[in-house]
């Protein structure tokens, strides 16, 4: 059973606009959430994270929102740039440093 789900396999956005990537989870024990970015032929690289004590974490153009009651988190990229085109994975763990569970990824394409 998939505990972390990314229901949109792909997303296309115009440069300069906002990209919103969504992630849902089922395990109420998850307490720490992460987003990874992956380019072809490379491993995922850590992008941003959030713990359950917060509902928002911002880092430059990237903001992650967490809605614990809905078991939902989202990654906002503003403004989107062509270099943001990649596959984005959502991951969750019961606490920081614990083993992670990954979603299937969303392929973001930012068009010039």
Partner 1 sequence: GAVVSQHPSWVICKSGTSVKIECRSLDFQATTMFWYRQFPKQSLMLMATSNEGSKATYEQGVEKDKFLINHASLTLSTLTVTSAHPEDSSFYICSASPGTGMQPQHFGDGTRLSIL
Residues in contact with partner 1 by CB under 8 A are 2, 5, 9, 34, 36, 38, 40-44, 46, 49, 86-87, 89, 91, 93, 96-97, 99-102, 104-105, 107
CB nearer partner 1, residue 41 or residue 53: 41
CB nearer partner 1, residue 5 or residue 69: 5
Question: What's the min distance (Å) between Cβ of 105 and partner 1?
Answer: 5
Query: What dihedral do alpha carbons 93, 36, 18, 30 form, nearest 10°?
Result: 0
Q: Output the CA torsion sign for 4, 67, 56, 76.
A: positive
The set of residues, in sequence order, having a beta carbon less than 8 Å from that of 52 and lying 6+ positions away, is: 30, 31, 32, 33, 66, 68
Q: How far apart are CA 106 and CA 103, in angstroms?
A: 9
Q: How many CB atoms lie within 10 A of CB 51?
A: 12
Question: What's the min distance (Å) between Cβ of 60 and partner 1?
Answer: 18
CB nearer partner 1, residue 43 or residue 69: 43
Question: What's the min distance (Å) between Cβ of 28 and partner 1?
Answer: 17
CB nearer partner 1, residue 69 or residue 86: 86
């Amino acid at each position: 059973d998939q505990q972390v789900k990314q229901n949109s396999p792909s997303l296309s956005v115009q440069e300069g606009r906002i990209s919103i990537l969504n992630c849902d989870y089922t395990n109420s024990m998850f307490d720490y959430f992460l987003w990874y970015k992956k380019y072809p032929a490379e491993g995922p690289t850590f992008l941003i994270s959030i713990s359950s004590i917060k509902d928002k974490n911002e880092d430059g153009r990237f903001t992650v929102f967490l809605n614990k009651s809905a078991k939902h988190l989202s990654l906002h990229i503003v403004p989107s740039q062509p270099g943001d085109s990649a596959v984005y994975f959502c991951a969750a763990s019961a606490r920081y440093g614990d083993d992670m569970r990954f979603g299937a990824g969303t392929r973001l394409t930012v068009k010039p």
